[in-house]
Structure 1
Amino acid sequence: MKLIVTFMLIACIVHVKGQTPGELILISDQFSFTEGPAVDSKGDIYFTDQPNNRIWKYTTEGELAVFLEPAGRSNGLYIDKEDHIIACADEKNELWKIAPTGSVEVLLEQYNGRKFNGPNDVWISPAGEYYFTDPHYQREYWIRKGKEIEEEALYLLKEGVLTQVDTDFIKPNGIVGTPDGRLLYVSDIRADKTYVYDIDEKGTLVNKKLFCSQGSDGMTIDRKGNVYLTGKGVTVYNVQGQKIHDIDIPANWTANVCFGGKEKEYLFITASEKIFKIYPDWL
């Protein structure tokens, strides 16, 4: 099933002064609630303003523009090797594939004949396997009330086959894997825990372990393997699960993070009505 969406481009240049390591730089505060930052092959960042039903693009040259509107109330995003945006389209509880031109393909809309609770965050392995979380957050714009799928689960889409790979969560949310495809981190935000799995050669998740006693909305990993969790600011853990940094964010809620820029040197942070970037001075 395919549908073509005409997108509106609203361009503006955002001038940012100073690039001091460790300095938090406000890019813009014109949004309602930002989410889902993801980076393409050029280092450009795409992110969502979910209440306003838009996906925005922020380029390495500092240009900020609406990329797609309407955007299916998209939440978490991830960008594949061909620069397609994989979007957790919350309006109808679907998983979308959005081409660089803005055309949309609905990848998934149900599991065993039942609508998803609401795909929230997604990560794609180097082998092309899609892992995504499906918590239930009742939205005011949904017609249906309550769940069709009782489990709030972690899913795997591999070679067109969809499976529930772990249902042992209260509310799974943030998800990210390592660049080598060997580890997957998944947060249970309601349980205030983040877990780590080994990914075997078949894409199967094994050896689930507690990584740290903190939940997270969105997550990312830096080149040293440190894991970045969000919520009240950004908290950074090393690979052993030890807290090593806190980044205070002047916003009510920090929803998500990713690395971007020409050299992936900046951490981009979506936080309530704002989006920031910072050059971490510990890298």
Structure 2
Amino acid sequence: MLIKTSHKKLVLVLGALTFATAVQAADPVTPAIPGVSAGGVLIELIKDGFNGTEGPIGLADGSLLFTETNANRIVRIAPDNTVSTFLENTNGANGLGINTNGDLVAVQVVNTRVGVIHPQGQEKTIADNYEGQPFQRPNDLVLARNGSIYFTDSGTRPTKDNPNPPVSKPGLYHITPSGTLARLANDIERPNGVQLSPDEKVLYVANTLGEHVLAYDIAADGSIQNRRNFAKLEGWKNTETGWSSGADGLAVDAEGRLYVASNAGIEVFNDKGEALGVVPLPKKPQNLAFAGRDKKTLYVVGRGAAYRIPLLTAGFAGRAK
């Protein structure tokens, strides 16, 4: 059947489609993911122009902290989206956690270490080397309920400013509640985000250069075993620097679902590693955390931007992240 239309009507239709596309591009919305997100919910840009967006973590008052690693600063986003400086001179704080005393713990990349950075006046170093060798680039951490710390060191990589860095020695580490440091793995190409399942029986690790999020079973002494490919990432693609998933920060919700920042956006998996959907973002995400008084808001930071995404589900309430 031939459909006739006037040139004027065609222009109007094409104009409406162009406008709709522009609105969609300017105002990204969530896809419908059962139990996770309703379709068409606005993904809100809180602010752009930050310098090194990493390490988001939710606080009990409903606010969110995240690190401007390159600016040597920690930023606070209040429940009303007010943005303020929480802490300056952070020694390049990257990933954040809160210990059983309520202290803010960070992996730090200037003088590389893991340590308490707040309250001010009570700063202390927990670990700054392994077998006498300083860490290269501590990246992310997660604190267990018993006070132990799991953290990643992503090693070194060539940059424009430093095209020939020292040999990369990436690793996954564990610090016991008594302060004993152990390297759990040195065979992950670029370990990045690290997260615990809600029952703390499984440790998840994002491998930026790999196609899968890795999972390990956790033994009673905090060591790990049974490495496996947990979730296949849609973000896996051939980039300018080679194949990469871009896997970065990780978060879990109250149902044990895993949220992964990757080249594709925020990828969501159930506790069996089955893909549930992807939330695309205007800029590639680096890290994410649930926050808000009901923890039903997912905050995402990346490439200088901070976003706020209302969800149907709540983040896991058993720890800050």
Contact kept? 1:173, 1:187, Cα under 8 Å: yes
| TM value normalised by structure 1 | 0.84
What pairs with 1:106-117 in structure 2 (closer than 5 Å)? 106-117=125-136
Consecutive unaligned residues of structure 1, counting only runs of 5 or more, are 1-19
Aligned: 1:85 with 2:104: yes
Which amino acid in the other structure matches residue 147 of structure 2?
G
What pairs with 1:65-76 in structure 2 (closer than 5 Å)? 65-76=84-95
Aligned: 1:132 with 2:151: yes
Could you say what secondary structure the match of 1:121 adopts? Answer: strand
Per-residue Cα deviation, 1:211-262 (whole angstroms, up to 9, x for no partner): 02334111101111111111221111111111112111111x2100110111
Matching residue within 232, 246, 249 for 2:278: 246
| Residue aligning to 2:266 | 234
| Residue aligning to 1:255 | 286
Per-residue Cα deviation, 1:106-127 (whole angstroms, up to 9, x for no partner): 2211111101121100011111
What pairs with 1:1-283 in structure 2 (closer than 5 Å)? 22-101=41-120, 103-138=122-157, 145-147=165-167, 151-158=169-176, 159-214=178-233, 215=245, 216-232=247-263, 233-251=265-283, 253-281=284-312
Distance 1:162 1:33, change over 3 A: same
Distance 1:280 1:242, change over 3 A: same
Shifted more, 25-34 versus 263-272: the winner is 25-34
Deviation of the 1:201 alpha carbon: 2.1
Consecutive unaligned residues of structure 2, counting only runs of 5 or more, are 1-36, 234-244, 315-321
Distance 1:262 1:101, change over 3 A: farther
What CA distance in whole angstroms lies between the structure 1 residues aligned with 2:124 and 2:174?
Answer: 18
| Residue aligning to 1:10 | none
Higher strand share: 1
What CA distance in whole angstroms lies between the structure 2 residues aligned with 1:71 and 1:250?
Answer: 28
Which amino acid in the other structure matches residue 191 of structure 2?
P
What CA distance in whole angstroms lies between the structure 2 residues aligned with 1:81 and 1:255?
Answer: 26
| TM value normalised by structure 2 | 0.75
Deviation of the 1:58 alpha carbon: 1.5
Distance 1:102 1:237, change over 3 A: farther
Between Structure 1 and Structure 2, whose CA radius of gyration is higher? 2
Per-residue Cα deviation, 1:55-75 (whole angstroms, up to 9, x for no partner): 111223433211111211121
Which amino acid in the other structure matches residue 42 of structure 2?
E
Deviation of the 1:145 alpha carbon: 4.1
Aligned residues: CA RMSD: 2.2
Contact kept? 1:230, 1:255, Cα under 8 Å: yes
What CA distance in whole angstroms lies between the structure 2 residues aligned with 1:53 and 1:244?
Answer: 36
Distance 1:102 1:247, change over 3 A: farther
| Residue aligning to 2:34 | none
Which amino acid in the other structure matches residue 173 of structure 2?
Y
Contact kept? 1:40, 1:79, Cα under 8 Å: no
What CA distance in whole angstroms lies between the structure 2 residues aligned with 1:100 and 1:178?
Answer: 28
